[in-house]
């Protein structure tokens, strides 16, 4: 069962709030999750852009995706404040010996859980029925809250993968 994002993402954030999704190459263990959540909470509680507080949010979904969101309706997020969020992700990456920046590893919802497949193997997985055009794909390239709610989980047939792999 997939989660209803509208019940998890903050209601009081503007729909155009900047959103970054980082996917781990594996599911975090429970102790890793608790530790990462503490780090993310401390980060968002103290997140600043040019000295002004950033209205930030961070969570871990499906035990494998770190979502960071900045509502810029009050304070814009500049390059340095974005860099500070990347630093936090890199800290979590090193602490847990995971990969958080591998854009060649794609995630799908298969048999009621997240399954990752290297981009180079997606064609094979489709040809052999491991994935179908209706399999849900995690589109980690969504740029804001509204897009995440609408397009983060989408059937392969509605994603950029369809043009490349579905004929």
The whole-angstrom separation of Cα 96 and Cα 90 is: 10
Which residue pairs from 125-128 have beta carbons closer than 8 angstroms and sit at least 24 positions apart in sequence? 126/156, 126/165, 126/166
42, part of any domain:
yes
CATH number at residue 23: 3.30.70
Query: Residues 45-98: pLDDT tens digits?
Result: 999 988 889 999 999 999 999 999 999 988 888 888 888 999 999 999 999 999
Model confidence at 2, pLDDT cuts 50, 70, 90, reads low
Q: Are residues 117 and 81 in the same domain?
A: no
Q: Are residues 61 and 24 in the same domain?
A: yes
Neighbours of 109 (CB within 10 A): 17
Q: Are residues 138 and 90 in the same domain?
A: no
2, part of any domain:
no
pLDDT of 24 over the 70 cut: yes
pLDDT of 106 over the 90 cut: yes
> End of a domain among 96, 121, 141?
96
Sheet containing 65-71: which strands, arranged edge to edge? Answer: 18-23, 65-71, 55-61
The whole-angstrom separation of Cα 93 and Cα 85 is: 12
Q: What's the chain's Rg over C-alpha atoms?
A: 16
Domain with 114, as residue range(s), is 105-165
Angle between helix axes 30-46 and 79-96 (nearest 10 degrees) is 160
8, part of any domain:
no
Half-sphere exposure of 81 (CA within 13 A, CB side): 23
The answer to whether residues 159 and 137 touch, using CB atoms and an 8 Å cutoff, is: yes
Q: Are residues 109 and 92 in the same domain?
A: no
Query: Residues 133-162: pLDDT tens digits?
Result: 999 999 999 999 999 999 999 999 999 999
């Amino acid at each position: 069962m997939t989660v209803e994002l509208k019940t998890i993402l903050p209601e009081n954030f503007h729909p155009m709030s900047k959103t970054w999704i980082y996917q781990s190459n594996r599911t975090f263990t429970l102790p890793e999750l608790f530790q990462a959540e503490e780090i993310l909470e401390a980060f968002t509680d103290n997140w600043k852009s040019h000295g002004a507080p950033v209205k930030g949010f961070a969570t871990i979904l499906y035990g494998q995706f770190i979502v960071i969101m900045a509502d810029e309706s009050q304070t814009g997020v500049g390059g340095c404040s974005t860099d500070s969020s990347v630093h936090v992700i890199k800290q979590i990456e090193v602490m847990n010996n995971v990969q958080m920046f591998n854009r060649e590893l794609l995630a799908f919802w298969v048999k009621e859980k997240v399954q990752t497949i290297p981009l180079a193997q997606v064609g094979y997985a489709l040809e052999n029925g491991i994935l179908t055009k209706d399999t849900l794909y995690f589109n980690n390239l969504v740029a804001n809250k509204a897009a995440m709610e609408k397009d983060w989980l989408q059937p392969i047939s509605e994603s950029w993968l369809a043009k490349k792999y579905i004929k």
